[in-house]
Amino acid sequence: MTGQEIMFIILALIAICCASLVIVLKRISHRVLSMAFCSFAIAGLYFLLRAEFLGIIQIMVYVGGLTVLFVFAVMMTDHRTTTFVPERSKVFKFVSFIGVGSLLSIMLIGILGMDLPAGTEPFIGTAEAIGLELYGNYVIAFLGVGILLLAALIGAIVIARKEADEQ
């Protein structure tokens, strides 16, 4: 097993564990911190794939976005009394743990059993090539995502104003 495969397994396990902690943890601040560590692990996976530009963008956009999410989550919710899900039975937790564990083991066996070529050639996707592709072939999709995000922001403001007016 090479060092790159070991780093992949470590980063993948960190990402999976942190994503699971986002679901399991009770406090919003702990959830956001876990989500930030998950984003860092995914950025590390991008670096392993020799896609440094995407790794840096992952860190800047998602970790920065999580900071904003954390600020809004603390400001807009009564996070001291919020409960997210009802308490599950022990049988349900055990069956879920067995199912997730078996799925992860099957995926790990599949990943380790893959026969990938040892590509030593450098990644050719530069920031310029990504920009030309994004603003050339995918400009409609890029604008659509921007409009969708704007609509989500306006919806969040409307919901927050209604809750503020009711109190």
Domain count, the chain: 3
Whole-angstrom distance, CA of residue 99 vs CA of residue 97 = 5
| pTM exceeds 0.85 for this model | no
- Domain check: are 78 and 4 in the same one? yes
pLDDT band of 120, cuts 50, 70, 90: low
pLDDT of 151 strictly over 80 = yes
Q: Look at 4-18, 92-106, 115-129, 132-146 and tell me which has the smallest mean pLDDT.
A: 115-129
Domain containing residue 12: CATH number = 1.20.120.1200
Quickly tell me which residue has 């403001």 as its tokens. Answer: 157
* 3-state secondary structure string across 100-132: HHHHHHHHHHHHHCCCCCCCCCCCCCCHHHHHH
- Domain check: are 94 and 75 in the same one? no
Range(s) of the domain holding residue 104:
90-114
Average pLDDT over residues 91-118: 84
- Domain check: are 105 and 64 in the same one? no
- Domain check: are 20 and 77 in the same one? yes
The answer as to whether 100 is a domain residue is: yes
pLDDT band of 84, cuts 50, 70, 90: low
The answer as to whether 119 is a domain residue is: no
Average pLDDT over residues 146-166: 84
Condensed to tens digits (0 to 9), the pLDDT of residues 35-66 reads 889 999 999 998 888 788 888 888 888 877 87
- Domain check: are 75 and 29 in the same one? yes
Whole-angstrom distance, CA of residue 111 vs CA of residue 9 = 10
- Domain check: are 159 and 99 in the same one? no
Higher pLDDT, 39 or 73: 39
The answer as to whether 120 is a domain residue is: no
